[in-house]
């Protein structure tokens, strides 16, 4: 295998970042990528700590951008300072993991590909979430621009990047360390909520940003404000639900539909739940939480056989690794939860062998699931009496 330095002469890969007050994280990020890039561009947006000095220690080309509550503007300024043929975008609280240096060869072997998605995993997330597939490595073309002041999205020629132009680099992944509970709280209160509320007052928020804002209010225990955002998002989504048109900006729509559907299910508004489940599975058939929601609704309504089909689908999506990867979701919606509910259905249907297998499957996902263990013991005792 060629040494990365030899390959860099051919690939000319630049690392591009925007940072502010990241002395706790920046060294880890830069150290993880330094050996694989030929240029480091760091744009500081107003640090009051040693962040600029740390960037210089790694040989970064340091630029400054006056913060204007617009992540896309800062990203685009940073892109304008890059000279490499390819651009790798990282945040300071992320770490690049390289499992194969062949990715540098792959960049030059597929001329039709203009961008690559990388797998991003949140290390500190309170729940175990699935990785996010996100375009973070792309050709240095002026047609690439970020849009949206918050949760900025990479676009090409003014629109979302066509899927046939995006490749998958298996030799790279990203770890994100910014989601500790206290870190989330501070970022939401001091930065994220004020930014989104400012956008909301000036121009209104998209469905995606309303979903994000609702989550931030929930994380900061402002439940009433969170519900106001969910209600506003539902009102925006309702016309699409009624006519069956996939929302133009579908980012986070599956997760929003799952949360809304769960809330309506708790309120026993079964008609709205039916609509959400129907459209959700039309638009995102391999999204496990929406399949789980559909199974849960059918189980509550007294259709255990119908419910079992959707719980089995969740498990199959996990087994075949063909689940929806457009956004993270809690992994247990395609492992522990459907397996447990499937076991409960088999008990209801008086099928103890099938129930035993389902609860043992739960324990294979989570050995500490005590209720599943109790049910395994109970079923085994019952079967022993029938022998």
**Averages of pLDDT over each 10 residues, the chain, 387 residues:** 52 93 96 96 97 98 95 97 97 95 84 94 82 94 92 92 90 86 83 92 92 95 97 97 88 94 98 98 97 98 98 98 93 98 97 98 97 97 89
Stated pTM of the model: 0.88
| pLDDT (tens digit per residue) in 103-145 | 888 888 889 999 999 999 988 776 788 998 999 999 999 999 9
Predicted pLDDT at 2: 47
Predicted pLDDT at 103: 87
Predicted pLDDT at 307: 98
375 to 25, 135, 312, 372: CA distances (angstroms): 45, 44, 19, 5
Residue 261 to residue 220: CA distance in whole angstroms: 22
Predicted pLDDT at 321: 95
Predicted pLDDT at 7: 53
Predicted pLDDT at 151: 84
| pLDDT (tens digit per residue) in 286-327 | 999 999 999 999 999 999 999 999 999 999 999 999 999 889
């Amino acid at each position: 295998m060629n040494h990365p330095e030899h390959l860099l002469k051919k690939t000319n890969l630049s690392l591009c970042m925007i940072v502010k007050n990241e002395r706790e994280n920046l060294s880890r990020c830069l150290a993880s990528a330094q050996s694989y890039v030929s240029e480091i561009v760091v744009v500081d947006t107003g640090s009051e700590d040693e962040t600029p000095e740390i960037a210089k220690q790694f040989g970064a080309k340091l630029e400054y951008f006056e913060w204007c509550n617009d992540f896309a503007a800062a990203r685009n300024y940073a892109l304008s300072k890059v000279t490499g043929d390819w651009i790798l975008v990282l945040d300071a609280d992320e770490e690049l993991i390289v499992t194969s240096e062949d990715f540098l060869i792959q960049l030059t072997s597929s001329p039709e590909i203009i961008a690559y998605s990388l797998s991003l995993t949140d290390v500190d997330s309170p729940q175990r979430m699935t990785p996010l597939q996100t375009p973070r490595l792309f050709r240095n073309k002026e047609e690439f621009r970020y849009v949206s002041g918050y949760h900025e999205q990479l676009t090409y020629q003014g629109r979302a990047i066509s899927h046939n132009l995006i490749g998958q680099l298996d030799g790279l992944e990203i770890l994100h360390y910014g989601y500790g509970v206290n870190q989330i709280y501070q970022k939401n209160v001091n930065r994220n909520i004020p930014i989104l509320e400012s956008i909301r007052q000036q121009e209104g928020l998209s469905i995606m940003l309303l979903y994000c804002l609702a989550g931030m209010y929930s994380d900061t225990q402002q439940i009433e404000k969170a519900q106001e955002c969910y209600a506003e998002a539902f009102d925006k989504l309702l016309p699409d639900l009624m006519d069956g048109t996939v929302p133009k900006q579908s980012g986070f729509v599956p997760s929003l539909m799952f949360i809304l559907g769960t809330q309506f299910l708790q309120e026993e508004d079964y008609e709205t739940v039916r609509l959400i489940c129907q459209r959700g599975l039309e638009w995102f058939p391999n999204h496990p939480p929406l399949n789980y929601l559909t199974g849960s609704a059918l189980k509550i309504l007294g259709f255990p056989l119908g419910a079992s089909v959707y719980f089995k689908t969740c498990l199959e999506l996990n087994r075949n690794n063909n689940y929806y990867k457009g956004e993270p979701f809690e992994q247990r919606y395609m492992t522990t939860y459907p397996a447990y509910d499937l076991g409960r259905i088999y008990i209801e249907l008086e099928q103890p062998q099938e129930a035993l297998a389902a609860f043992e499957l739960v324990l294979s996902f989570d050995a500490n699931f005590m209720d599943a263990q109790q049910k395994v013991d109970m079923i085994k005792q019952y079967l022993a009496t029938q022998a």
